[in-house]
Chain A
C-alpha cells in the first residue's frame, strides 16, 4: 500500500499546458485592455462576471478543505490536495478583486453599481434608505475584509497541509490545528458568502431583494468548487500523477455524489426563490424576474434550469455514472458552464436589458483570469505532490471502500 502512495507523490509535467495557459492569459489581457478603452461599463460587467466565476472556484475549493477538516473526513484525504490547490490561488483572486474596487471608487466612468449614481439615488427614498449599507466606503471595507480572511484561511490550510508532506506521516499537529480552526472559518464563510452575493450580484438591481440570495450564491460556489476539484482529480489521474489504485472509483463516487446532491440543492434553492416571488406577486420583487424573461433572456432562464439541474441529475443518477471518470468530467464541465451561465444570467440583464450579448469584450477577462489560474495551478502541481502524502489519515483514506 505504501508503495502506491509513494508513486502518488509524482509531480505534474505541465510544461506544454503552462505555455498554452500563458498564451491564453496574454490574449485575454489584450482583449481586456481593448475592452476597457472601448467601453468601460461593458468591461466592468465582463470583469465582474469572470471574477465571480473564478472566485467561486477558489472559494469552493477552500470551503471543501475546511469542510473536510470540520467533519474529520477520511475518504477525502487522497483528493484533498486538489481542493487545496484551488484554495491556494485565493491571493490571485484577491488581486482580481482590485479592479472591482476601482469600479466602485471611479463609479462615474464605469457605472457598474447603479446605487453609486447620484442622479439615480436622488429623490429615491428606497435607495436613500439603503445608503448606510450601500456606500463605496463600506463596500470596499467588506470586500477587503472578506478577501483578507479568505486569503489568510487559504494560507493557513494549505501551508499546514504542505508542511505535513515534509514531516512525514504520523505527525498530526497540523491536522489538529486545522480541525480546531475549521468551525470558526465556517461561521465566517457563511456570512461572507451571503454578503458577497448581496454586494456584487444583488446590488446591481438595488431596489430588488431576496433573503435567500446568500444561499443561492453558496450553492453556486460549492457546485463550482466540486466541479473544478473533480476535473482536477480526473485530469491528474489520467496523467498518472494520481494513482488510479489510490484514488479509486470509491473516492470518485463520493465526489460524484456531492456534485449530484448540490446540483439538486441549487435547483431547490433557485426554485424556492422563484416560486415565492412568483406566488407573492409583489411588483418590487417580481421586477427582477420579469427583466429576465424579456427578449432572449427567457431562453437563458429556461436553459439555466436544464443545464444546472436536469442534465446533471440524469447524467449522475446511477451509481455507475458516479464512479466513471469520463462521465464525472463531462458533468463537471456542464456544471462549470452552468455556473458561468448562472452568473451571466444574474449580472448581465442589468446592462443588456433587451437580450443576451456575448462577444470578445465579455470573453477577455474570462480568458485572462482563466489562463493565469491554470498557469499557477500547473506550477503548483509541478512543485508539490498531488496528494497530502504526510496526512496521518492517508493510509485509512486509501483503504476507503463504498
Chain B
C-alpha cells in the first residue's frame, strides 16, 4: 500500500530545484530513445557580478551566438554583453504613426465621406475633434505592437528549448544566473567550456537537444 503510484525515475517532468539536472522525460522509455546532439554549454553562476565578469570575457573573445539568463534585470549586463541599441523603439514608433494615420483616415472617411453630418456648423473634417481618437490609436498600436514585437524578438513561439528540458531555466527563474554558449557560433569548439571555467564558473554543463528522427514520440 505504501508503494508510490508513480515510481521514481519513470516520470521526470518534475522540475528539480536542488541544482541537479532532472532526468529527461521518460514517458514510455522505448519511444524516447532518440539521438541527442550537443547544442551548447551553459555556465551557472550564483551571483550577478560573476555573470557580468564572465559576460565581458565572452564578449571580448568575440562570441556572437550566446546569451545570458537572469531571474531579474541585472544592471550593466547590456554593456557587458556588448549589446547594441534595440530596434524595438524604432518599430514601436513606426507602429504608433501607422495607428495615428489609420485613425485619422478612418475618422475622415466616416465623418466626411461615408456618412457626412454637419455638427454645430463645423467643417466635415474637423481635425480637433479627431485628435483624442488619433492619440488613443497611436497609443494602442504602440503598446500592442511593442508587446507583440518584443515577444517575437525574444523568439517566443518556440515549443520548447533545451534550456527548459535540462532544467536550467527552472534554476534561473529562482535564484541563479546562466550564461549559454551556442554551438552555432563560429568560435564553437569542444574547448568552449574552458572559457567558462576560466571565468570562474564552478557549474558548467553540456546542453543537449533531441535530434528529430521523424518519429512521433
Residue-by-residue, is A275-298 near B (CB-CB < 8 Å gives 1, otherwise 0)? 100110100000000000000000
Number of interface residues of A (CB under 8 A): 12
Q: How far is the CB of A199 from chain B (nearest CB, A)?
A: 29
Q: A275-B129, A281-B120 are in contact. Are A319 and B85 (CB under 8 A)?
A: yes
Q: Which of B89, B93, B128 contacts A278 (CB 8 A)?
A: B128
Known: A275-B131, A279-B129, A319-B85. 13 other contacts (CB 8 A): A271-B128, A271-B131, A274-B128, A275-B128, A275-B129, A275-B132, A278-B128, A317-B93, A318-B89, A319-B89, A320-B85, A401-B75, A401-B76
SS class, residues of chain B in contact with chain A: helix
Chain A residues packing against B (C-beta within 8 Å): 271, 274-275, 278-279, 281, 317-320, 401-402
Interface residues of B in 88-132 (CB under 8 A from A): 89, 93, 120, 128-129, 131-132
Total inter-chain residue pairs, C-beta < 8 Å: 20
Report 18 cross-chain contacts, Cβ distance below 8 Å, ordered by A residue: A271-B128, A271-B131, A274-B128, A275-B128, A275-B129, A275-B131, A279-B120, A279-B128, A279-B129, A281-B120, A317-B93, A318-B89, A319-B85, A319-B89, A320-B85, A401-B75, A401-B76, A402-B75
SS class, residues of chain A in contact with chain B: helix
Q: How far is the CA of A312 from the CA of B177 in the complex (A)?
A: 40
Q: How far is the CB of A327 from chain B (nearest CB, A)?
A: 16
Q: How far is the CA of A279 from the CA of B132 in the complex (A)?
A: 13
Q: How far is the CB of A272 from chain B (nearest CB, A)?
A: 9
Number of interface residues of B (CB under 8 A): 10
Q: How far is the CA of A274 from the CA of B75 in the complex (A)?
A: 43
Q: How far is the CB of B48 from chain A (nearest CB, A)?
A: 12
Q: How far is the CB of A346 from chain B (nearest CB, A)?
A: 20
**Which B residues are in CB contact (< 8 Å) with A271?**
128, 131
Q: How far is the CA of A274 from the CA of B127 in the complex (A)?
A: 13
Q: How far is the CA of A279 from the CA of B131 in the complex (A)?
A: 12
Q: How far is the CA of A401 from the CA of B89 in the complex (A)?
A: 20
**Which A residues are in CB contact (< 8 Å) with B131?**
271, 275
**Which A residues are in CB contact (< 8 Å) with B75?**
401-402
Q: How far is the CA of A402 from the CA of B75 in the complex (A)?
A: 7
Q: How far is the CA of A271 from the CA of B129 in the complex (A)?
A: 11
Q: How far is the CA of A229 from the CA of B129 in the complex (A)?
A: 36
Q: Looking across the interface, which residue of chain B has its beta carbon closest to that of A276?
A: B128
**Which B residues are in CB contact (< 8 Å) with A319?**
85, 89
**Which A residues are in CB contact (< 8 Å) with B129?**
275, 279
Q: Looking across the interface, which residue of chain B has its beta carbon closest to that of A320?
A: B85
**Which B residues are in CB contact (< 8 Å) with A281?**
120
Q: How far is the CA of A151 from the CA of B89 in the complex (A)?
A: 43
**Which A residues are in CB contact (< 8 Å) with B120?**
279, 281
